[in-house]
Amino acid sequence: MNPWIDITVPLSPGMAHWPGDRPYEVDRVEDMSRGAVMNLSAISLSAHTGTHMDAPLHFVAEGPAIDRMPLDAGIGPARVVAIRNPARIALDEVGSCDVQPGERILFKTVNSNSEWWSEPFQERFVAIPADVAAHLAARRPALIGVDYLSAGAFQGDGVETHQLLLGAGIWLVEGLALTHVDPGRYELVCVPLSMAGVEGAPARAAIRRVQAD
């Protein structure tokens, strides 16, 4: 069996986070180096920090929350699709990959958004514009993944992108680490924390190559 590849961005203090969101912070409440009998941490973060999943509730008022996600939305065959356009995940490239209903598609950007996690937030990351979101919504994949903090752009039509994708019942995994991953077919395991009534949650994601293209 081929080894699993962890495509999760580790949570760490000082990592890039969406402007205005609560950053990731860790408070060591009990510390053995200070004489405690155990180590115990308290954490604070936005639900959309690092590698995380968006539930429809994020932009759909009556949509399901993250604890309602069917596990098979994030577990099963997946495709990593290389995007060569340096500005956007464009319709010509997405259209050529012939997304099918129920598929799990992970977009790897040409300059790899994944490189920016240790730097301040990057406003000009490669995202899915609304016209492509409409195309994907019509195709009805089970899951779409991207390699920075949001499927939609920081400015412009980012809200519409989320509304289209989540409104179509597509689960989103954002903040994937795909720098060292080749395009192709994989087995995916991506499961968020089950947080009742919440619109998103941190997730752990891993892939295993099953077939070379």
How many alpha carbons fall within 13 Å on the CB side of residue 139?
22
The C-alpha atoms of residue 63 and residue 140 are separated, in whole angstroms, by 16
> Using CA atoms, how far apart are residues 158 and 39, in angstroms rounded to an integer?
41
**Cross-strand bridge partners of residue 52:** 174, 202
How far is Cα of residue 212 from the mean position of the Cα atoms in its chain? 23
48 an active-site residue? Answer: no
**Which one of the listed residues 52, 58, 162, 180 is annotated catalytic?**
58
Q: Taking the alpha carbons of 169, 78, 156, 132 in that order, is the dihedral positive or negative?
A: negative
Q: Which residues are catalytic?
A: 58
